[in-house]
Chains A and B, each alone.
Chain A
Amino acid sequence: AQKVTQAQTEISVVEKEDVTLDCVYETRDTTYYLFWYKQPPSGELVFLIRRNSFDEQNEISGRYSWNFQKSTSSFNFTITASQVVDSAVYFCALTPNSGNTPLVFGKGTRLSVIA
């Protein structure tokens, strides 16, 4: 069975602070894909990143960076110099490379960035 745990329910930071959103996953598959999505107040989930299990390179995109560590089954997301526009609910998700299995989502972390 697949499982994604986002232990942080809500986080509040002051603008310009760095913040890390944690994601821990469980799967028995050796090949799988991990995702992060952002849900701003408008409601539409926006795709941020996809990572396959064979690629443990960390990724940086502007102020966003992702740290994938298979040894700890974690795929953490860091926002550097946070801005008010980063306020949203962030979801981590997992899909295995076996059969027609849709994404399994974590419960999300609500990030509030205060000016």
Chain B
Amino acid sequence: DVKVTQSSRYLVKRTGEKVFLECVQDMDHENMFWYRQDPGLGLRLIYFSYDVKMKEKGDIPEGYSVSREKKERFSLILESASTNQTSMYLCASSLEGLLDSPLHFGNGTRLTVT
């Protein structure tokens, strides 16, 4: 089974801190994604990557950046955390070819920015 592991289940950070959310997958998937999930808004795509060192902006990239130095790891970075970035963050991966390959999700990181 595909395993997508997010390093933290819960995080509490202060406004202005730099925050790193880590995601690792163990199935050699080319594609990796970061979503945030908020009540009433569903899942919104922040960034995605379809190869090492490649990144593409999703629907809501503002305030975030990403890093994909190794195929198995995709990091989401909040350069200066703000309270409106309090949310559930979900990482996912899929095989090459975005079209019909199901996403495999991690358990999520619930981030609170105070």
Listed in ascending order, the chain A residues whose CB lies under 8 Å from chain B are 9, 33, 35, 37, 42-47, 50, 52, 91, 95, 97, 100-103, 105-108
Contacts and interface: CB of A to CB of B under 8 A. Distances in A.
A46 B88 CA distance: 16
Given A91-B42, A105-B43, A44 B98 contact: no
Contact of A47 (B40, B45, B99, B104): B104
B60 interface: no
Contacts of A35: 102
Contacts of A106: 42
Nearest to B4: A44
B107 A42 contact: yes
Contacts of B105: 37, 44-46
Interface in B23-55: 33, 35, 40-45, 48, 50
A101 B99 CA distance: 8
B69 interface: no
Given A45-B90, A91-B43, A102-B45, A33 B99 contact: yes
Given A101-B98, A102-B58, A107-B41, A44 B103 contact: no
